[in-house]
Amino acid sequence: MNDSKTPEGAAQRAPVIGITSYLEQAQTGVWDVRASFLPQVYLNAVTDAGGIAIVLPPQPVSPGIAEAIVAGLDGIILSGGADIDPARYGQEPHERTGAPRGDRDAFEAALLDAALAAELPFLGICRGAQLLNVERGGSLIQHLPDVVGDDRYQFGGGVFNPIDVEVDAGSRIAEVLGEDRGARAHLYHHQGIGEIGDGLTVTSRTADGIPESIELADHPFGIAVQWHPEENPQDRRLFAGLVAAAREYRATRPQTPHADPREQS
């Protein structure tokens, strides 16, 4: 018999991909409350690629929480969003840096640490790429117009700037993108990756020298991009690559009961 309760059935199920989200003030009907928020395009990108999307809102981090969440996933996406607190990489805030969002910074950093320890496949998108770099000891350029002289990386008003990027041959992301190694990159980031974190490799740069993709060499699938691939429904290669890696992860990891975080000291 082969059902979802057996290891074989578990391996055949669509992989579960967690996607980090925002906590924002939201209105619906008579309600005006703080709520978990994530653009639908992220969900569509995962389901288009054959995965099951699970939204992960920021929540208090206590011992065992991040590990318990990661234990229930086959892959994770660190999504885009607000600026990371510059204190996390030892800088004072630029006048154009957004107000700190400590709840999200702490939660996603804990998730990333747990994902790395479990060798869980992950994809970082925009803020997610920046978080990966910061948590590996790197830094950020807090306002790219100071470096490049204009707003080409973030036009504002929710308008993405599509450019063509080509990633380095021999990289993990090149394997995912295929022979042409190219992608239409939808840019919307006023910050950029500065000093590169430990163990990370830059796999593409713009003509300005700004990194647009990085990867973690010693991780089975650890890719992050500064652009927004979820905004391109005609190109799901990065999500398909993550889902494929998550399916393999599900098939090969030991099938053990999930830890109860309440039992952690």
Residue 228's H or E segment, with its range, is none
Catalytic residue among 186, 189, 190, 228: 228
Catalytic residue among 67, 108, 212, 230: 230
Instruction: State the DSSP code for 194.
Output: -
- The reply to whether 166 belongs to the active site is no
Q: DSSP label at 91? A: -
User: Which run of H or of E encompasses 134?
Assistant: helix 127-135
Is 175 an active-site residue?
Answer: no
- Answer yes or no: 67 catalytic: no
Contact 239, 123 (CB under 8 A): yes
Residue 93: Cβ-neighbour burial (10 angstroms; 0-12, 13-18, 19+): middle
Cα separation of 102 and 58, whole Å? 10
> In one letter, which amino acid is 237?
R
The Cα 16–Cα 83 span in angstroms is: 27
Asked if 35 and 24 touch (Cβ cutoff 8 Å), the reply is: yes
Residue 62 corresponds to which amino acid? S
Catalytic residue among 67, 108, 126, 231: 126
Of the candidates 117, 226, 220, the one whose C-alpha atom is nearest the C-alpha of residue 172 is 220
**Contacts of 110 by beta carbon, 8 Å cutoff, 6+ apart:** 61, 65, 66
Residues identified as active-site: 126, 228, 230
